[in-house]
Chain A
Amino acid sequence: MSYLEDDLKMALRRTEPPEGFADRVLARANGPAPAEPSWWEYLLVLVRPPRVQWVALSLILSVMIPAAGVYRKERQERAEGERAKEQLVFAVHVAGNKLHRVQQKVLEMGRMDTRL
């Protein structure tokens, strides 16, 4: 315990500032205010790599862009599939309808023959 106390005392002991420190602080405080950064300096701050936001943004984009491509392709395939389905249903109904009408006529003719 005593070693710890000694170490703390040593670390927190009062020390004098370097020579001329107070004058330098006063001179700085009384001097002209620092200039406002211009617009291009703000832009420079934005594009200065590496920044956490840029890394995050690039990660998001690297996921979003392929995902958007996959979604678009899937949507296009779905639209083509739906169109093909409509055509198929139509074609089958047309074919079935014609076949059905022919069968109907054959049956009608058969009935007429029977009556005769």
Chain B
Amino acid sequence: MKILRSITFCILVGAASYGQALDLKHLDKLADRASNKVEVTLDGSVLKMAAKFLSDDDDPDSAKIKKLVGGLKGIYVKTFEFEKEGAYSDSDIAGIRKQLESGWSRIVGIQSKKDGDNAEIYLKTGGPDGGLAILCAGAKELTIVNIVGKIDLDQLSELGGNMGVPKIEVEKPKPPKKDD
């Protein structure tokens, strides 16, 4: 009886945590059109296992990543690169946008006419756990990131800044010189 209860509990918890992640299956149809495709699916147990293997002396970022993912329940990434522009349309990502309409709030939305890159950042507002969704739609690239759980955006951005992208240094106003 106890075993049955435990199994039921595990199924319910699993279903609940699965439900918090975005359904990215809509994007599978883009795989045929893409020249490169990267997909990462790390849910609860795999994420914990991966975090265990991060040792502090491996890489300077390992300790930071370990700390960052401590409270997370899932990380899902899908990236598609296309050879030609216009390989996908807004209708291809409409399914993702629809999911982000309820329970999520868009904190940043950038539309660049210069390079055609659009980027949106959403934070999960509904539900007990936090969440983050990043939707980057470029002319030849589409990236969707979904993180389930509470995450420190500054730490995450800092890790991204180390990947070949220089860290942004915000200029601080200089204190006025005092004439003696």
Interface residue ranges, A against B (CB under 8 Å): 78, 80-82, 84-85, 87-107, 109
Number of interface residues of B (CB under 8 A): 44
Alpha-carbon distance between A82 and B163 when the two chains are bound, in angstroms: 20
On whether the beta carbons of A94 and B143 are closer than 8 Å, the reply is yes
* List of B residues within 8 angstroms of A89 by Cβ: 54, 59, 61-62, 65
A82 partner residues in chain B, CB cutoff 8 A? 53
* Residues of A with C-beta under 8 A to B52: 81
Q: Residues of B contacting A104 with CB < 8 Å?
A: 165, 168
Report the separation of the CA atoms of residues A94 and B77 in the bound assembly, to the nearest whole angstrom: 8
Name the distance in Å between B12's Cβ and chain A's nearest Cβ: 25
Cβ-defined contact, A102 with B47, below 8 A: no
When each residue 112-132 of chain B gets 1 if its CB lies under 8 Å from chain A and 0 otherwise, what string results? 100000010100000000001
- B 135-161 binary contact with A (CB < 8 Å = 1; else 0): 010000001010100000100111111
In this complex, the member of A92, A94, A109 whose beta carbon has the largest number of chain B beta carbons within 10 angstroms is A92
In the assembled complex, the CB of A77 is this many whole angstroms from the nearest CB of chain B, namely 8
Residue of B with least CB distance to A100:
B160
Complex contact B40–A100 (CB within 8 A): no
**Across the A-B interface, how many residue pairs have beta carbons closer than 8 Å?**
118
> Within 8 Å CB of A100, what residues of B?
157-158, 160-161, 165, 168
Min CB distance A106 to B, Å, is: 6
Residues of A within 8 A of B38 (CB): 90, 94
Find out whether the CB atom of A96 lies under 8 angstroms from the CB atom of B50: no
Contacts of B68 in A (CB 8 A): 92
CB-defined A-B contacts under 8 Å, sample of 23: A78-B53, A80-B49, A84-B47, A87-B42, A88-B42, A89-B62, A89-B65, A90-B77, A91-B42, A91-B77, A93-B159, A93-B162, A94-B79, A95-B147, A95-B156, A96-B157, A98-B136, A100-B158, A101-B160, A101-B165, A105-B110, A107-B168, A107-B170
B134 close to chain A: CB less than 8 A: yes
B-side contacts of A97, CB under 8 Å: 160-161, 163, 165
| Interface residue ranges, B against A (CB under 8 Å) | 38, 40, 42, 46-47, 49-54, 59, 61-62, 65, 68-69, 75-77, 79, 108, 110, 112, 119, 121, 132, 134, 136, 143, 145, 147, 153, 156-163, 165, 168, 170
CB-CB under 8 A from A96, the residues of chain B are: 156-163
CA distance A92 to B69 in the complex (A): 9
Task: Find chain A residues with CB under 8 A from B136 CB.
Answer: 98, 101-102
**Min C-beta distance of B101 to chain A, whole Å:** 20
Question: With A97-B160, A99-B121, A102-B134 in contact, do A91 and B54 touch (Cβ < 8 Å)?
Answer: no
B156's partner among A99, A105, A106 (CB-CB below 8 A) is A99
Q: Are A88 and B156 in contact (CB under 8 A)?
A: no
| Alpha-carbon distance A91/B79, docked complex (angstroms) | 10
